[in-house]
């Protein structure tokens, strides 16, 4: 079959009946469906707005901006969901609004301090972790990021893998959501692609997965060539950004992120690797640029989307 192109609402809203009507085989049929494309055929990956990119903007306005500027989805932050619910908002209704707008929620960030070093601390944080999984599931997220915090050195990777396995079991069985392990380049503990990948693999869970980030690949010293060694479905989400030539890989922070393609990262090569390993998940524009936070959020979001589309076009995929 040829490749099928959906706009974001068509793809998000299509069910089995809709796929059949479009002539696309359902799962388990003899003929596999062709990979979907997004952005009117311009991208093999859903292009998603991470809420941090326009952080000062209120939650409902972030959703509106993501919709009106043409993103395929929005990646939310759990602290905003907590604040929204505390103020009387209904997260299931918010999830319905997102679906009506045609916006997917591939991931929510996340489960903080969720892999502490002792059993006592694990037991203490678990009720909060459960409640956050519930919130993320209520808005319809597929994944929730599990951050291997509190940070420490050394980080006991075998213990971390066991606790991540527990989170996977709880998330899937109790909330129908998949925790995804995220590594952070500027911490002392789980700061590399290989560390996070090993922990996820050692859970012995078929749904274990990781979240990668171009900034953290650079900042943690993993580099950009390791992506090709993993299967596409092992990545739950890929955060997309760049840094300028003046950025120091030993000291740079989140605020140093700039639009993808405006800096030094080999993003075109990374995209080719993602296509090679058959990754079909989202590219999520995750910036924490303070200059952007002072600008019109719609302008920042629209510019970021065009930059990501230009990356994909340059990669020829």
User: How far are the Cα atoms of 83, 90, 264, 266, 267 from residue 47, in angstroms, in the given order?
Assistant: 26, 26, 21, 18, 15
**Strand-pair partners of 211:** 182, 237
Check pLDDT > 70 for residue 2: no
Calculate the dihedral angle through the C-alpha atoms of 116, 124, 108, 213, rounding to the nearest 10 degrees: -10
CA 286 to chain centre: 9
pLDDT at 32: 55
pLDDT at 4: 53
Q: Are 163 and 122 in contact (CB under 8 A)?
A: yes
- Shortest CA distance to 13 belongs to which of 104, 125, 87? 104
Q: Are 150 and 189 in contact (CB under 8 A)?
A: no
Mean pLDDT, to the nearest integer, of 264-272?
Answer: 98
User: How far are the Cα atoms of 71, 179, 207 from residue 200, in angstroms, in the given order?
Assistant: 29, 11, 9
Mean pLDDT, to the nearest integer, of 281-301?
Answer: 98
Tens of pLDDT, residues 9-53: 555 544 433 333 333 333 343 345 678 999 999 999 999 999 999
Number of helical (H) and strand (E) elements in the chain, helices listed first: 12, 12
Tens of pLDDT, residues 295-313: 999 999 999 999 999 999 9
What's this model's pTM, rounded to 2 decimal places? 0.91
Domains of the chain: 1-37 (no CATH), 46-315 (3.20.20.150)
Q: Which pair of structure tokens corresponds to residue 27?
A: 């799962």
CA 298 to chain centre: 20
pLDDT averaged over every residue in the chain: 92
* Nearest-angstrom CA–CA distance, 193 and 185: 9
Q: Residues in the chain, how many?
A: 317
């Amino acid at each position: 079959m040829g490749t099928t192109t959906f706009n974001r609402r068509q793809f998000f809203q299509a069910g089995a009946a809709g796929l059949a009507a479009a002539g696309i085989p359902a799962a388990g049929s003899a003929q596999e469906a062709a990979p979907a494309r997004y952005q009117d055929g311009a991208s093999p990956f859903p292009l998603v707005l991470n809420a941090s990119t326009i952080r000062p903007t209120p939650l409902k306005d972030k959703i509106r901006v993501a919709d009106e500027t043409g993103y395929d989805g929005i990646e939310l932050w759990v602290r905003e969901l907590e604040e929204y619910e505390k103020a009387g908002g209904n997260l299931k209704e918010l999830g319905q609004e997102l679906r009506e707008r045609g916006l997917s929620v591939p991931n929510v960030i996340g489960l903080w301090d969720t892999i502490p070093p002792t059993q006592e601390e694990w037991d203490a944080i678990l009720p909060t972790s459960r409640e956050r999984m519930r919130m993320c599931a209520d808005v319809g997220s597929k994944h929730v990021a599990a951050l291997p915090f509190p940070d420490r050195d050394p980080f006991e990777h075998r213990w971390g893998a066991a606790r991540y396995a527990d989170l996977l079991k709880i998330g899937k069985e109790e909330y129908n959501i998949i925790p995804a392990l995220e590594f952070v380049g500027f911490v002392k503990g789980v700061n590399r692609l290989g560390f996070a990948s090993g922990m996820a693999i050692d859970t012995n869970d078929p749904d274990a997965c990781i979240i990668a980030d171009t900034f953290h690949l650079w900042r943690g010293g993993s580099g950009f060539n390791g992506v090709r060694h993993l299967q596409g479905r092992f990545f739950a989400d890929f955060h997309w950004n760049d840094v300028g030539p003046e950025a120091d890989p030993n000291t740079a922070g989140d605020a140093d992120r700039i639009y993808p393609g405006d800096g030094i990262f080999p993003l075109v090569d990374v995209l080719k690797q993602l296509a090679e390993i058959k990754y079909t998940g989202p590219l999520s524009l995750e910036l924490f640029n303070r200059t952007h936070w002072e600008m019109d959020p719609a302008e920042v979001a629209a510019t970021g989307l065009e930059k990501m589309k230009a990356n994909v076009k340059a990669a020829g995929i």
